[in-house]
Amino acid sequence: MRKISKVLAILLCVVVFTSVFTIASSAISSSSSARDILRYYEQCNIDTSAKEDVIKVRAQGTESITGDFSGLTSADRQFTMDMLEWEDSYDEWDEDHFVYGDAYPEHYVNGRSMFVDVFSVNRDIKRDGLTYKGAKYSVDKNGNEVMTFDAVLPFESGNMIYLTYTVTLDANGYIQTYKLRQYSDLRYESFLNNDTFTVTKIIDETFTFEYKEIDVESVRLSRSKVTVGVGKESSVRPVITPNNATFKDVYAISDDRDIATCYVDNGKIYIEGIREGSTTIEVYTYDGDLLAECEVVVGRTFMDSFGEFFISLFDLLFGFLNALL
Dist. CA 18–CA 222, nearest whole Å: 36
Amino acid, single-letter form, for residue 154: P
Contact between 320 and 248 under an 8 Å Cβ cutoff? The reply is no
DSSP class of residue 313 equals H
C-beta atoms surrounding 33 within 10 Å: 10
pLDDT value for 231 = 92
Dist. CA 239–CA 295, nearest whole Å: 17
| pLDDT over threshold 50, residue 15 | no
Dist. CA 267–CA 237, nearest whole Å: 7
Binned at pLDDT 50, 70 and 90, residue 129 comes out as: confident
Percent of the chain with pLDDT over 90: 41
**What is this structure's pTM?**
0.63
B/e letters for 65-92, b = 16+ CB within 10 Å, e = fewer, are bebebeebeeebbebbbeebebeeeeee
pLDDT value for 162 = 94
Q: What is the pLDDT of residues 242-251, one digit of tens each?
A: 999 988 888 8
More confident residue, 230 or 2: 230
243, burial (CB in 10 Å: exposed 0-12, middle 13-18, buried 19+): exposed
Binned at pLDDT 50, 70 and 90, residue 137 comes out as: confident
Which of 42-46, 136-140, 241-245 tops mean pLDDT? 241-245
Q: What is the mean pLDDT of residues 156-162?
A: 86
Q: Are strands 291-298 and 277-285 parallel, antiparallel or unpaired?
A: antiparallel
Dist. CA 59–CA 205, nearest whole Å: 7
Binned at pLDDT 50, 70 and 90, residue 59 comes out as: confident
Q: What is the pLDDT of residues 285-302, one digit of tens each?
A: 887 788 999 999 998 756
**DSSP collapsed to 3 states, 185-198:** EEEEECCCCCCEEE
Q: What is the pLDDT of residues 70-106, one digit of tens each?
A: 999 999 999 999 999 999 999 999 988 766 544 444 4
Amino acid, single-letter form, for residue 98: F
CA separation, residue 210 to residues 11, 95, 169, 247, 319 (Å): 26, 13, 13, 10, 66
Mean pLDDT of the chain: 77
Q: What is the pLDDT of residues 214-224, one digit of tens each?
A: 889 999 999 99
| Ramachandran category for residue 232: left, alpha or beta (phi over 0 → left; psi -120 to 50 → alpha) | beta
Binned at pLDDT 50, 70 and 90, residue 203 comes out as: very high
Spatial strand order in the sheet of 291-298: 225-228, 291-298, 277-285, 250-254
Using alpha carbons only, how large is the chain's radius of gyration in Å? 28
Element (H, E) at 270: strand 268-273
Dist. CA 258–CA 276, nearest whole Å: 9
CA separation, residue 306 to residues 232, 297, 309, 310 (Å): 15, 18, 5, 7
Q: What is the mean pLDDT of residues 29-39?
A: 70
